[in-house]
Each structure stands twice: as structure tokens, then as C-alpha cells.
Amino acid sequence: MRTVSVSEAKNQLSALLDRVKAGEEALILERGVPVARLSPVAGGSGEGLALLERKGLVRRGLGQPVNLEALPWPEAKASTLELLLREREEGR
């Protein structure tokens, strides 16, 4: 966490806010005593994903999203119960 004095925060507010937007936190000190903490706002507008992307933890896909509901369901060759019972019999 970055620490800055009140006067430094006032003089370099734009740069400080850019760092906070990038995911850093800043602790503001008044005469060496912590008085405030600046941290990114977590919201539902994709900011969390953008932060993970900047940290290199995720990568956005290049294609279009797939409508999973439109995909056909695979047809089962046997019921799940039959397969489970067969597997249990083989294990004996």
C-alpha cells in the first residue's frame, strides 16, 4: 500500500487516482498519522474483471459469447442409474 502525505495527495491527486483506478490502495497521512485510505471501488460494471486482467490473472476471449441454451443436448445411450449400477457390479 502506498503512503502519501496530505499535501502530496493534494498536489498529485490525478496521478494518485490513476494508481487507485489501477487497483492500488493509498494511505493518506497527516503529520505521520493515518487519516484516510483510498481504495478502488468494487462494482458490478466489470471493474473487478478489469483489475484481474491488469494483474495478468485472466485474459478476455476474442470470440463472441455462445448462447449455451441454443446448443443441442447430447443423447444418453443409457440412464445414469443403469451406468451407476453397472459400475458397482464391475467393482465387486
**Annotated domain spans of the chain:** 1-59
- Over residues 46-51, the mean pLDDT reads 75
Distances (CA, A) of 66 to 57, 61, 70: 22, 11, 9
- Reduced to 3 states (helix: H, G, I; strand: E, B; else coil), residue 42 is coil
| 46 — pLDDT class (breaks 50, 70, 90) | low
Counting every residue written for the chain, the total comes to 92
State pTM to two decimals.
0.47
Q: How far is CA 23 from CA 7, 26, 51, 56, 68, in A?
A: 22, 10, 6, 12, 33
pLDDT surpasses 60 at 44: no
CATH number given to 1-59: 3.40.1620.10
The predicted model gives 77-81 an average pLDDT of 84
- Rounded-to-integer distance, Cα 21 and Cα 45, Å: 13
pLDDT of residue 69: 84
d(CA 61, CA 64) in angstroms, rounded, equals: 8
pLDDT score for 68: 83
Residue 52: its pLDDT value, please? 86
